[in-house]
Amino acid sequence: MENPDNKTEVVLLACGSFNPITNMHLRLFELAKDYLHETGKYNVIKGIISPVGDAYKKKSLISASHRVTMAKLATESSDWVQVDDWESSQNEWLETLKVLRYHHQKLASSTPANSLQNAVPLIKPGRKRKQEANRYIPAKKYQLSPETKGVPQLKLLCGADILESFGIPNLWKLEDITEIVANHGLVCITRAGNNAQKFIYESDMLWQHKNNIHLVEEWITNDISSTKIRRALRRGQSIRYLVPDAVRAYIEKHNLYSPESEDRNTGVILAPLQKHARGCKQEQTL
């Protein structure tokens, strides 16, 4: 969709644990919005925070209901960033690509002359899922159809750590990464001295789609992280000004982070790795 100024409208989607959400998470949206607007090509109309579900099984991950509530409290004052709980409400962990497809479908269905039937399906058609666990499917097979090209572009907003996690064995499927960067694109917040550009250079697939990967350098550095927030809370230290005041009050009211919560899911294999292992076993039995 293009506005009267002939700028492409963009929706930014951030997926993650948000355990808890911090001021840095919110800053990612502002940094990305400023960057895209300064290109003169884009108009960012919405930001979406999508907390991962409990089935992700990440160590220290507290209940999705608390994480979603904190994210909503953190964005109460924003006129363009909102929280969506669809991903977090699913019984099973969902790949980031499926979350992108879902939100693309929502955008398509809310645009005149488009409907859900024109959008890319959440589950690829064809043979049973277990038979396609690791089969490479070129992104061009799932190019957005002409009927949906009028909707705003949906881009995945992330930090450099997410980009570099593409290289962790079995964490992402190659066909998923290809479809994400080819059909949607990334807006990646980096820091001075970061190797994000080198990581893209060393990947033939990412290099092929480098024009769809926007690297945004964070000049006013901020080292806030959810891990450090949880550590401070376990030690009884203040987190004021590191998270929104409403989030801090909610954490204190519900006593959310403790040594016990930090041990949650300890020894449990991360959901993507579990799924990969199951896929390998199923392939061996075929």
The per-residue pLDDT string of the chain (286 residues; one tens digit each, 9 = 90 and over) reads 555 578 999 999 999 999 999 999 999 999 999 999 999 999 999 999 999 999 999 999 999 999 999 999 999 999 999 999 999 999 999 999 999 999 999 999 987 655 444 444 554 444 333 333 333 334 444 455 434 567 999 999 999 999 999 999 999 999 999 999 999 999 999 977 778 999 999 999 999 999 999 999 999 988 899 999 999 999 999 999 999 999 999 999 999 999 999 999 999 999 999 988 887 766 656 5
Looking at residue 139, its pLDDT comes to: 44
Looking at residue 29, its pLDDT comes to: 98
Residues in the chain: 286
Structure tokens at 227: 């891990």
- The 3-state DSSP class for residue 52 equals coil
Domain boundaries, given as residue ranges, for the chain: 8-110+150-284
* C-alpha to C-alpha distance for 274 and 154, rounded to whole angstroms: 28
Comparing C-alpha atoms, which of 136, 101, 138 is closest to residue 116? 101
Looking at residue 149, its pLDDT comes to: 60
Looking at residue 115, its pLDDT comes to: 47
Compute the C-alpha angle 145/40/159, nearest 5°: 75
Looking at residue 3, its pLDDT comes to: 56
Q: Which element (helix H / strand E) includes 208?
A: helix 204-208
Compute the C-alpha angle 42/110/6, nearest 5°: 25
Cα 56 from chain centroid (whole Å): 13
Facing residues of 137 across strands? none
Walk across the sheet containing 153-159 and list its strands: 81-83, 42-51, 8-16, 153-159, 186-191, 213-218
Looking at residue 221, its pLDDT comes to: 87
Kindly list the distances between the CA atom of residue 60 and the CA atoms of 53, 165, 239, 256, 266, in Å, as whole numbers in the listed order: 13, 19, 18, 11, 8
Give the burial string for 67-106 (b: 16+ CB within 10 Å, else e). bbbbbbbbbeeeeebebbbebbebeebbbbbbbbbbbbbb
* Whether 43 contacts 127, CB under 8 Å: no
Looking at residue 144, its pLDDT comes to: 54
Structure tokens at 103: 């939100």
Compute the CA torsion angle 217, 156, 130, 276 (nearest 10 deg): 30
Comparing C-alpha atoms, which of 187, 174, 149, 170 is closest to residue 48? 187
* C-alpha to C-alpha distance for 129 and 138, rounded to whole angstroms: 17
Looking at residue 124, its pLDDT comes to: 45
Fold of 8-110+150-284: Rossmann fold (3.40.50)
Strands 153-159 and 81-83: what pairing? unpaired
